[in-house]
Amino acid sequence: MATERTLSILKPDATRRNLTGKINTLLEGAGLRIVAQKRIQLSRAQAEGFYAVHRERPFFNDLVTFMISGPVVVQVLEGENAVQKNRDVMGATNPANAAEGTIRKTFAESIEANSAHGSDSLENAAIEIAYFFSGIEIVG
């Protein structure tokens, strides 16, 4: 397994409930290292651009509205097998289906307000990281 980088977002439901530290404790506990991080307020256009692959899905407009409902923390995680490891720690998209101890099982409010985002492939991780960070903002 290789060292990878992946994009993580702590969503507005997590910042609103002051859960960023608790969530990052789970990520760091799994061996993922936060090598870049910033708290930002997404504009509608920025959220639409980030989720462009979901444009045709029925939940797209609601998702974008949710993602701009408060600040998010965008961060780059680094570690062995980081893309899959982050997904494993997050758990299934729908918290009702997420395994015990995962971020979404523990903290998510709903299938939409599910506390965390994680890139779904190494290829998408590179695209998503570049959407938010320049090279000099990532300190491994």
Side-chain half-sphere CA neighbours of 89 within 13 A: 24
Find out whether 103 and 92 touch, Cβ atoms under 8 Å: no
Binding of ligand IDP at residue 124 (CB under 6 A)? Answer: no
Sheet holding 116-118: strands in order across? 33-40, 72-80, 3-10, 116-118
Choose the binding region for ligand IDP from 16-24, 30-38, 77-85, 108-116 (rule: CB under 6 A).
108-116
Task: Answer with the entry of ligand IDP, Mg ion, none that 93 interacts with (C-beta below 5 to 8 A by kind).
Answer: ligand IDP
Select from 20-28, 71-79, 109-117, 126-134 the region that touches ligand IDP (CB under 6 A).
109-117
Binding site for ligand IDP (CB under 6 A): 54, 59, 63, 93, 111-112, 114, 117, 120
